[in-house]
Structure 1
């Protein structure tokens, strides 16, 4: 069986894609593509992905055991249930999706994934966002959740954490090398959005001749509201203040409630231009590594064209 592991990255429409796949799972299975209802939380296979993750398992402590031996038993049993569910509907391919899988992990993490799927043909599918947009979106999410550090202090820790996955190249390479994955599919968020193919691209990757898209139910293109630079600064001032935690939550909620939802793919400008340019410059080497190793010569110009805007 072919297993397509969608690892993210974060902030690239993963939740919308997972909702789309889960909502259409019955139709997809009729056409040979399984999105098994195993380990699902919020439409994604988060329970499978979080079990061996160094931190994410804590967010599901009511289900995932803390003991390492019990964790391993939980992980392998859920993977077997996932594969059994896919086989039961007689599909040729299955999709496993969770942005918890985005990051750089220890060798034993990948070793267990490789062992669990040893009898499958593995494919890696990753969506990358223009670095300055990805970093801004990540910081914005942190502000919405109560982050009280200024951008520079937050980013210093963010980029030094392996689980943040700031080095796109290393994230992809570790998955490919440690699991022996030969087929790696990399897309840019911007190209998928501009081509209106965020939802269908993975399905077309699995089956280039698929002709069932008119039978699927699609989600709205509107996404959560994003504040302006001034509003982001207001959120920061609230988060870093000495007022009570509950009051901070209420104020953040009021601010976000009064913002209009934006169209998917709309550019963020919550950081000054100099900060955005600094991120773009820092990623030149990472992008170069990806293009050399994973992008065909005939695709390079088009692949990152939207990132040059």
Structure 2
């Protein structure tokens, strides 16, 4: 039995992959692929929280109602036991898939990744870690729509500047992600894919199915394939959410209603930062991105070239 671990990264189609795996879990099981429900519904959040010491990522801990260290210890034991039971009940499976972008974003230290390996990655014949790479400026511009959905109440420029502190370096530094996971699982077991090169009809989802050796025909009735999820919101929609978030008038239920409306009526490219800020943010990662492209995409530096604001592109002519 093999294991495929999909760790994101930020804004690279993870939600589409996870929804597909969840909606087609029975069909996948018939093809020998197990998506373990014991680790969480859609996103395998339980595996992430079991791999962290109590006190880390308390926002996620509250989602699964972990209030103290004793709760966390019992949760970890129960999660491991349920996972092992699910594996034992599936001896005919050829592949197990664990997926959570939080594995990238919430396990910033090597020891966190080691704990995840020790708890959930033992006794497999082969392990591969799948990670999609996207230019950091594109990530953070797209991520802004996501944080607005959650109630963020500051403009894009402030959001970008706040993420330029050293504390956020492991989140955006692609070399750091690769090195962290490669040190624990072996660099030879990393499957590093360029997000820009898999932007066909099914995007990252189609590419991930190729990794799993699945024939994903979008015209076939064999699979349930939904539309895009967690899409970017255009400038007008972002301004609406920003204004409502700043008033503090929306509770969680009403915000979800407004977000749903914006996703339906305001899809498209959102705000872009001024050229100087865009350059300052992206330049932090020039050296590490060069290492990534030379190591994994030689001859294709454009894979990690961001979508610059129009004024930057004009200035380069």
TM-score (norm 1): 0.79
Alpha-carbon distance in 2 for matches of 1:81, 1:118: 14
Alpha-carbon distance in 2 for matches of 1:200, 1:47: 26
- Secondary structure of 2:37's aligned partner: coil
Q: Specify whether residues 233 and 277 from structure 1 end up closer, same or farther in structure 2 by C-alpha distance, changes over 3 A only.
A: farther
Q: Specify whether residues 11 and 64 from structure 1 end up closer, same or farther in structure 2 by C-alpha distance, changes over 3 A only.
A: farther
Matched, 1:11 2:32: no
Q: Show the counterpart of 1:37.
A: 37
Q: Show the counterpart of 2:315.
A: none
Matched length = 296
Matched, 1:179 2:179: no
Cα pair 1:158 1:164 within 8 Å, conserved: no
Q: Show the counterpart of 2:285.
A: 283
Cα pair 1:8 1:98 within 8 Å, conserved: yes
Q: Deviations over 1:128-149 (max 9, x none)?
A: 3332221012122112221123
Matched, 1:113 2:112: no
- Secondary structure of 1:38's aligned partner: helix
TM-superposed CA distance for 1:202, in Å, is: 2.0
Cα pair 2:170 2:177 within 8 Å, conserved: no
TM-superposed CA distance for 1:153, in Å, is: 3.5
Q: Specify whether residues 232 and 261 from structure 1 end up closer, same or farther in structure 2 by C-alpha distance, changes over 3 A only.
A: closer
- Secondary structure of 2:191's aligned partner: strand
Alpha-carbon distance in 2 for matches of 1:111, 1:225: 32
Structure 1: runs of 5+ lacking an equivalent? none
Q: Deviations over 1:47-78 (max 9, x none)?
A: 22233342154143337874353344234324
TM-score (norm 2): 0.77
User: What are the within-5 Å matches in structure 2 for residues 87-236 of structure 1?
Assistant: 87-88=90-91, 90-103=92-105, 104-116=107-119, 117-120=121-124, 121-160=126-165, 161-162=167-168, 165-180=171-186, 182-207=188-213, 210-211=214-215, 213=217, 214=220, 216-224=222-230, 226-236=232-242
- Secondary structure of 2:127's aligned partner: strand
Q: Specify whether residues 21 and 101 from structure 1 end up closer, same or farther in structure 2 by C-alpha distance, changes over 3 A only.
A: same
Question: CA RMSD of the aligned region, Å?
Answer: 3.4
TM-superposed CA distance for 1:21, in Å, is: 1.2
Alpha-carbon distance in 2 for matches of 1:115, 1:269: 41
TM-superposed CA distance for 1:162, in Å, is: 4.8
Q: Show the counterpart of 2:78.
A: 74
